[in-house]
Amino acid sequence: MKKSLVGAGGLITGLLIIITSNLMAMPISINYQGRLREYNQPVSGTRTMNFKIYSSSSSAIPVWASGDVQITVTSGTFSYQLNPTGVDWRSDELWLETTVSGKILSPREKLLAVPYARHSFESENLNATGLMVNANMNRIVNVSTPTAFDDCATKGYVESWLPVGTILMWGGSQSSIPTGWLLCDGSAISRTTYSRLFAAIGTTHGAGDGSTTFNLPNLRDRFIVGAGNSYVVAATGGEATHTLTVSEIPSHSHTASCSTNGAHTHIYSKGQFVNNGQGGSGYGVWAATPYVDTATSSSGDHNHTITIGSTGGNAAHENRPPYYALCYIIKY
Protein backbone atom coordinates (compact mmCIF):
# COMPACT_ATOMS: atom_id res chain seq x y z
CA MET A 1 0.00 0.00 0.00
CA LYS A 2 1.12 3.59 -0.41
CA LYS A 3 0.46 6.40 2.05
CA SER A 4 1.86 9.82 3.04
CA LEU A 5 2.90 10.25 6.66
CA VAL A 6 3.23 13.77 8.04
CA GLY A 7 5.48 14.48 11.04
CA ALA A 8 7.07 17.49 12.63
CA GLY A 9 9.21 19.03 9.96
CA GLY A 10 9.02 16.04 7.64
CA LEU A 11 7.06 14.12 5.06
CA ILE A 12 7.52 10.42 4.36
CA THR A 13 5.81 8.37 1.67
CA GLY A 14 5.99 4.63 2.31
CA LEU A 15 5.42 1.65 0.02
CA LEU A 16 4.96 -1.72 1.72
CA ILE A 17 5.46 -4.90 -0.28
CA ILE A 18 5.25 -8.46 1.02
CA ILE A 19 8.03 -10.09 -0.93
CA THR A 20 8.25 -13.69 0.25
CA SER A 21 6.37 -16.33 2.18
CA ASN A 22 6.42 -20.05 2.83
CA LEU A 23 3.45 -22.38 3.10
CA MET A 24 0.01 -20.79 3.44
CA ALA A 25 1.18 -17.19 2.93
CA MET A 26 3.44 -16.76 5.95
CA PRO A 27 5.29 -13.44 5.35
CA ILE A 28 8.84 -13.43 6.63
CA SER A 29 10.04 -10.04 5.33
CA ILE A 30 8.71 -6.71 4.08
CA ASN A 31 10.61 -4.42 1.75
CA TYR A 32 9.79 -0.89 2.92
CA GLN A 33 10.49 1.85 0.36
CA GLY A 34 9.77 5.52 0.91
CA ARG A 35 10.49 9.16 0.10
CA LEU A 36 11.60 11.52 2.87
CA ARG A 37 11.36 15.31 2.75
CA GLU A 38 12.22 17.84 5.42
CA TYR A 39 10.79 21.34 5.12
CA ASN A 40 9.61 20.33 1.66
CA GLN A 41 13.14 19.46 0.52
CA PRO A 42 14.37 15.98 -0.43
CA VAL A 43 16.65 14.53 2.24
CA SER A 44 20.11 13.12 1.60
CA GLY A 45 22.25 11.50 4.25
CA THR A 46 21.83 9.05 7.12
CA ARG A 47 18.80 9.09 9.36
CA THR A 48 17.93 7.06 12.47
CA MET A 49 14.62 5.29 11.99
CA ASN A 50 12.51 2.93 14.07
CA PHE A 51 9.64 0.74 12.87
CA LYS A 52 6.97 -0.78 15.12
CA ILE A 53 3.93 -2.95 14.39
CA TYR A 54 0.84 -2.65 16.62
CA SER A 55 -2.36 -4.69 16.89
CA SER A 56 -4.54 -1.56 16.60
CA SER A 57 -4.31 2.07 15.52
CA SER A 58 -4.05 3.28 19.13
CA SER A 59 -2.58 0.46 21.24
CA ALA A 60 0.41 1.35 23.37
CA ILE A 61 2.38 -1.90 23.27
CA PRO A 62 3.82 -3.01 19.91
CA VAL A 63 3.79 -6.65 18.81
CA TRP A 64 7.12 -6.10 17.08
CA ALA A 65 9.79 -3.37 16.95
CA SER A 66 12.88 -3.04 14.78
CA GLY A 67 14.80 -0.90 17.21
CA ASP A 68 16.85 2.06 15.97
CA VAL A 69 18.40 1.47 12.58
CA GLN A 70 20.62 3.73 10.48
CA ILE A 71 19.21 4.19 6.98
CA THR A 72 20.83 6.00 4.08
CA VAL A 73 18.54 8.41 2.23
CA THR A 74 19.53 9.48 -1.28
CA SER A 75 17.76 12.40 -2.96
CA GLY A 76 14.79 11.82 -0.73
CA THR A 77 14.41 8.04 -1.32
CA PHE A 78 15.33 5.09 0.86
CA SER A 79 14.68 1.37 1.22
CA TYR A 80 14.81 -0.93 4.23
CA GLN A 81 13.85 -4.57 4.72
CA LEU A 82 11.75 -5.31 7.78
CA ASN A 83 11.93 -8.80 9.27
CA PRO A 84 9.09 -8.96 11.79
CA THR A 85 8.78 -12.03 14.02
CA GLY A 86 5.94 -13.20 16.24
CA VAL A 87 3.31 -11.41 14.13
CA ASP A 88 0.00 -13.15 13.42
CA TRP A 89 -0.47 -12.21 9.77
CA ARG A 90 -4.01 -13.56 9.76
CA SER A 91 -5.13 -10.57 11.81
CA ASP A 92 -7.06 -7.77 10.11
CA GLU A 93 -5.67 -5.23 12.60
CA LEU A 94 -1.96 -4.63 12.02
CA TRP A 95 -0.57 -1.09 12.05
CA LEU A 96 2.92 0.24 11.25
CA GLU A 97 4.40 3.21 13.12
CA THR A 98 7.53 4.94 11.78
CA THR A 99 9.90 7.13 13.76
CA VAL A 100 12.49 9.34 11.99
CA SER A 101 15.23 11.00 14.05
CA GLY A 102 13.17 10.61 17.19
CA LYS A 103 10.01 12.08 15.68
CA ILE A 104 6.96 9.76 15.46
CA LEU A 105 5.15 10.14 12.17
CA SER A 106 1.39 9.89 12.41
CA PRO A 107 -1.07 8.48 11.81
CA ARG A 108 -0.06 4.82 11.89
CA GLU A 109 -0.23 2.97 8.60
CA LYS A 110 -2.55 -0.04 8.37
CA LEU A 111 -1.03 -3.19 6.90
CA LEU A 112 -3.08 -5.33 4.56
CA ALA A 113 -2.02 -8.95 4.12
CA VAL A 114 -1.90 -10.24 0.55
CA PRO A 115 -2.10 -14.08 0.21
CA TYR A 116 0.96 -15.42 -1.53
CA ALA A 117 1.78 -19.11 -1.80
CA ARG A 118 5.28 -20.34 -2.34
CA HIS A 119 6.64 -23.88 -2.46
CA SER A 120 8.93 -24.68 0.46
CA PHE A 121 11.66 -27.07 -0.62
CA GLU A 122 13.21 -27.20 2.82
CA SER A 123 10.06 -28.46 4.51
CA GLU A 124 9.58 -31.01 1.73
CA ASN A 125 13.03 -32.44 2.37
CA LEU A 126 12.64 -32.49 6.16
CA ASN A 127 13.37 -36.06 7.19
CA ALA A 128 13.18 -35.94 10.99
CA THR A 129 10.72 -38.55 12.24
CA GLY A 130 7.95 -37.39 14.55
CA LEU A 131 8.14 -33.65 13.93
CA MET A 132 4.76 -31.91 13.78
CA VAL A 133 3.90 -28.43 12.47
CA ASN A 134 1.18 -26.75 14.50
CA ALA A 135 -1.95 -25.13 13.08
CA ASN A 136 -0.51 -21.60 13.38
CA MET A 137 2.47 -22.63 11.24
CA ASN A 138 4.87 -20.96 13.67
CA ARG A 139 6.30 -23.92 15.57
CA ILE A 140 7.34 -27.53 15.13
CA VAL A 141 6.61 -29.77 18.06
CA ASN A 142 8.55 -32.97 18.61
CA VAL A 143 5.66 -35.36 19.25
CA SER A 144 5.35 -38.93 18.10
CA THR A 145 1.67 -38.95 17.13
CA PRO A 146 -0.68 -36.26 15.75
CA THR A 147 -3.40 -35.47 18.26
CA ALA A 148 -5.42 -32.63 16.75
CA PHE A 149 -7.38 -32.60 13.49
CA ASP A 150 -5.23 -29.73 12.17
CA ASP A 151 -1.85 -31.24 13.05
CA CYS A 152 0.45 -31.48 10.05
CA ALA A 153 2.79 -34.46 9.73
CA THR A 154 6.25 -34.07 8.24
CA LYS A 155 7.69 -36.17 5.46
CA GLY A 156 9.78 -38.14 7.93
CA TYR A 157 6.75 -38.92 10.08
CA VAL A 158 4.72 -40.14 7.11
CA GLU A 159 7.58 -42.31 5.88
CA SER A 160 7.71 -44.03 9.24
CA TRP A 161 4.29 -45.46 8.32
CA LEU A 162 5.13 -46.07 4.65
CA PRO A 163 8.86 -46.85 4.54
CA VAL A 164 11.08 -46.90 1.47
CA GLY A 165 10.84 -50.32 -0.19
CA THR A 166 7.10 -50.69 0.43
CA ILE A 167 5.29 -52.42 -2.47
CA LEU A 168 1.69 -51.51 -3.30
CA MET A 169 -0.73 -52.15 -6.15
CA TRP A 170 -1.34 -49.15 -8.45
CA GLY A 171 -4.72 -48.79 -10.15
CA GLY A 172 -3.47 -46.59 -12.99
CA SER A 173 -1.48 -47.38 -16.12
CA GLN A 174 2.20 -48.32 -16.28
CA SER A 175 2.93 -44.94 -17.89
CA SER A 176 1.40 -42.93 -15.02
CA ILE A 177 3.25 -44.26 -11.97
CA PRO A 178 3.10 -41.58 -9.22
CA THR A 179 6.16 -39.58 -8.19
CA GLY A 180 8.27 -41.34 -5.59
CA TRP A 181 7.38 -44.81 -6.87
CA LEU A 182 8.79 -47.19 -9.50
CA LEU A 183 7.18 -50.02 -11.47
CA CYS A 184 8.28 -53.46 -10.25
CA ASP A 185 9.53 -54.58 -13.66
CA GLY A 186 12.96 -55.97 -12.82
CA SER A 187 14.81 -52.94 -14.20
CA ALA A 188 18.42 -52.25 -13.23
CA ILE A 189 18.58 -48.78 -11.65
CA SER A 190 21.32 -46.55 -10.22
CA ARG A 191 22.57 -47.29 -6.71
CA THR A 192 23.39 -43.58 -6.34
CA THR A 193 20.20 -42.01 -7.71
CA TYR A 194 18.05 -44.40 -5.71
CA SER A 195 20.38 -44.70 -2.72
CA ARG A 196 17.59 -44.90 -0.14
CA LEU A 197 15.91 -47.79 -1.96
CA PHE A 198 19.27 -49.52 -2.40
CA ALA A 199 19.87 -49.19 1.34
CA ALA A 200 16.48 -50.80 1.96
CA ILE A 201 16.49 -53.78 -0.44
CA GLY A 202 20.11 -54.07 -1.58
CA THR A 203 20.69 -56.75 -4.22
CA THR A 204 17.90 -59.03 -2.97
CA HIS A 205 16.20 -58.93 -6.38
CA GLY A 206 19.35 -58.77 -8.50
CA ALA A 207 22.79 -57.14 -8.38
CA GLY A 208 22.43 -55.20 -11.65
CA ASP A 209 25.87 -54.71 -13.17
CA GLY A 210 27.48 -55.65 -9.88
CA SER A 211 28.77 -52.19 -8.99
CA THR A 212 26.66 -49.18 -10.02
CA THR A 213 23.15 -50.62 -10.42
CA PHE A 214 20.77 -53.00 -8.69
CA ASN A 215 17.52 -54.67 -9.77
CA LEU A 216 13.94 -53.96 -8.86
CA PRO A 217 11.71 -56.96 -8.16
CA ASN A 218 10.06 -58.18 -11.35
CA LEU A 219 6.40 -58.71 -10.49
CA ARG A 220 4.96 -58.46 -13.99
CA ASP A 221 2.62 -61.38 -14.75
CA ARG A 222 3.18 -62.75 -11.24
CA PHE A 223 1.11 -63.71 -8.22
CA ILE A 224 2.61 -62.97 -4.80
CA VAL A 225 3.08 -65.58 -2.07
CA GLY A 226 4.20 -64.86 1.48
CA ALA A 227 7.83 -65.73 2.20
CA GLY A 228 8.33 -68.01 5.18
CA ASN A 229 9.14 -71.65 5.84
CA SER A 230 8.52 -72.84 2.28
CA TYR A 231 9.62 -69.78 0.31
CA VAL A 232 12.47 -67.29 0.76
CA VAL A 233 12.28 -63.66 -0.33
CA ALA A 234 12.67 -63.32 -4.13
CA ALA A 235 11.95 -67.02 -4.76
CA THR A 236 10.09 -67.73 -8.00
CA GLY A 237 8.18 -70.70 -9.36
CA GLY A 238 4.94 -71.97 -10.79
CA GLU A 239 3.56 -72.10 -14.32
CA ALA A 240 0.80 -70.22 -16.10
CA THR A 241 -0.10 -73.47 -17.94
CA HIS A 242 0.99 -77.07 -17.37
CA THR A 243 1.09 -80.37 -19.25
CA LEU A 244 0.72 -83.48 -17.07
CA THR A 245 3.49 -86.07 -17.17
CA VAL A 246 2.91 -89.82 -16.79
CA SER A 247 4.18 -89.71 -13.21
CA GLU A 248 1.63 -87.00 -12.39
CA ILE A 249 -1.34 -89.05 -13.64
CA PRO A 250 -3.03 -91.02 -10.83
CA SER A 251 -2.53 -94.78 -11.08
CA HIS A 252 -5.58 -96.44 -12.66
CA SER A 253 -6.68 -99.35 -14.92
CA HIS A 254 -9.23 -100.07 -17.62
CA THR A 255 -11.37 -103.25 -17.94
CA ALA A 256 -13.24 -104.76 -20.90
CA SER A 257 -15.09 -108.04 -21.58
CA CYS A 258 -16.93 -109.82 -24.34
CA SER A 259 -19.48 -112.71 -24.38
CA THR A 260 -18.21 -116.29 -24.34
CA ASN A 261 -21.49 -117.71 -25.80
CA GLY A 262 -19.79 -119.62 -28.60
CA ALA A 263 -20.83 -123.12 -27.47
CA HIS A 264 -23.19 -124.99 -29.88
CA THR A 265 -23.76 -128.44 -31.47
CA HIS A 266 -24.64 -129.88 -34.86
CA ILE A 267 -26.67 -133.07 -35.57
CA TYR A 268 -25.42 -135.46 -38.21
CA SER A 269 -26.31 -139.07 -39.26
CA LYS A 270 -23.92 -141.95 -39.41
CA GLY A 271 -24.36 -145.53 -40.57
CA GLN A 272 -24.39 -148.41 -38.13
CA PHE A 273 -23.53 -152.03 -38.58
CA VAL A 274 -25.82 -154.60 -36.90
CA ASN A 275 -24.80 -158.16 -36.46
CA ASN A 276 -28.07 -159.94 -37.24
CA GLY A 277 -26.88 -163.53 -37.58
CA GLN A 278 -29.36 -166.33 -37.76
CA GLY A 279 -29.03 -169.92 -36.53
CA GLY A 280 -25.40 -170.38 -37.37
CA SER A 281 -25.85 -169.85 -40.99
CA GLY A 282 -22.55 -168.09 -41.00
CA TYR A 283 -23.44 -164.69 -42.55
CA GLY A 284 -24.67 -161.29 -41.48
CA VAL A 285 -26.95 -158.58 -42.88
CA TRP A 286 -27.51 -154.79 -42.38
CA ALA A 287 -30.29 -153.89 -40.05
CA ALA A 288 -33.42 -152.33 -41.40
CA THR A 289 -32.36 -148.96 -39.85
CA PRO A 290 -28.83 -148.37 -41.04
CA TYR A 291 -28.35 -144.75 -39.71
CA VAL A 292 -28.48 -142.99 -36.30
CA ASP A 293 -28.41 -139.24 -35.41
CA THR A 294 -25.37 -138.06 -33.36
CA ALA A 295 -24.53 -134.63 -31.86
CA THR A 296 -21.08 -132.96 -32.05
CA SER A 297 -19.23 -131.83 -28.89
CA SER A 298 -20.18 -128.42 -27.40
CA SER A 299 -16.60 -127.48 -26.53
CA GLY A 300 -16.61 -124.32 -28.72
CA ASP A 301 -16.01 -121.65 -25.98
CA HIS A 302 -13.13 -119.19 -26.82
CA ASN A 303 -11.68 -115.67 -26.00
CA HIS A 304 -11.03 -112.50 -28.05
CA THR A 305 -8.22 -109.89 -27.59
CA ILE A 306 -9.73 -106.35 -27.20
CA THR A 307 -7.85 -103.05 -27.85
CA ILE A 308 -9.24 -99.90 -26.09
CA GLY A 309 -8.83 -96.70 -28.14
CA SER A 310 -6.98 -93.62 -26.64
CA THR A 311 -8.31 -90.03 -26.41
CA GLY A 312 -6.90 -86.59 -25.45
CA GLY A 313 -4.44 -84.21 -27.11
CA ASN A 314 -1.60 -83.80 -24.55
CA ALA A 315 -2.18 -80.01 -24.51
CA ALA A 316 -1.26 -77.80 -21.51
CA HIS A 317 -4.15 -76.82 -19.24
CA GLU A 318 -4.95 -73.51 -17.45
CA ASN A 319 -3.18 -73.43 -14.10
CA ARG A 320 -4.32 -70.02 -12.67
CA PRO A 321 -7.28 -68.94 -10.54
CA PRO A 322 -9.51 -66.11 -11.80
CA TYR A 323 -7.40 -62.92 -11.84
CA TYR A 324 -7.48 -59.13 -12.23
CA ALA A 325 -4.26 -57.40 -13.28
CA LEU A 326 -2.83 -54.28 -11.56
CA CYS A 327 0.65 -52.74 -11.47
CA TYR A 328 2.94 -53.45 -8.51
CA ILE A 329 4.94 -50.34 -7.56
CA ILE A 330 7.74 -49.83 -5.03
CA LYS A 331 8.47 -46.69 -2.99
CA TYR A 332 11.94 -45.19 -3.33
- CATH number (domain holding residue 178): 3.90.1340.10
* pLDDT of amino acid 48: 96
d(CA 285, CA 301): 42
Do both 155 and 173 map to the same domain?
no
CA atoms within 13 A on the CB side of 245: 2
* pLDDT of amino acid 298: 64
* pLDDT of amino acid 301: 64
Amino acid at the residue 119? H
Do both 331 and 198 map to the same domain?
yes
* pLDDT of amino acid 1: 40
d(CA 129, CA 138): 19
264-283 pLDDT, tens digit each: 677 766 666 555 555 555 55
* pLDDT of amino acid 239: 87
* pLDDT of amino acid 216: 98
* pLDDT of amino acid 115: 58
Domain that holds residue 233: 162-239+324-332
Is the bond preceding residue 107 a cis peptide, omega within 30 degrees?
A: yes
Kindly report the backbone phi and psi dihedral angles of residue 4, in degrees, each rounded to the nearest multiple of 5, phi listed first.
-90, 135
Kindly report the backbone phi and psi dihedral angles of residue 103, in degrees, each rounded to the nearest multiple of 5, phi listed first.
-100, 125
Do both 200 and 329 map to the same domain?
yes
* pLDDT of amino acid 5: 38
* pLDDT of amino acid 158: 72
Domain end residue (candidates: 160, 189, 222): 160
Amino acid at the residue 99? T
d(CA 241, CA 50): 84
* pLDDT of amino acid 244: 86
In a domain, 95, yes or no: yes
In a domain, 185, yes or no: yes
In a domain, 312, yes or no: no
Record the pTM.
0.44
278-299 pLDDT, tens digit each: 555 555 555 555 566 666 666 6
Do both 332 and 210 map to the same domain?
yes
Do both 330 and 205 map to the same domain?
yes
Q: Could you tell me whether strands 291-295 and 267-271 are parallel, antiparallel, or unpaired per DSSP bridges? A: antiparallel
Q: Which residues of the chain have pLDDT under 50?
A: 1-11, 14-25
> Of 157, 191, 30, which is closest to residue 98 (Cα–Cα)?
30
Environment class of 104 (CB within 10 Å of its CB; exposed 0-12, middle 13-18, buried 19+): middle
Domain end residue (candidates: 45, 78, 110): 110
In a domain, 297, yes or no: no
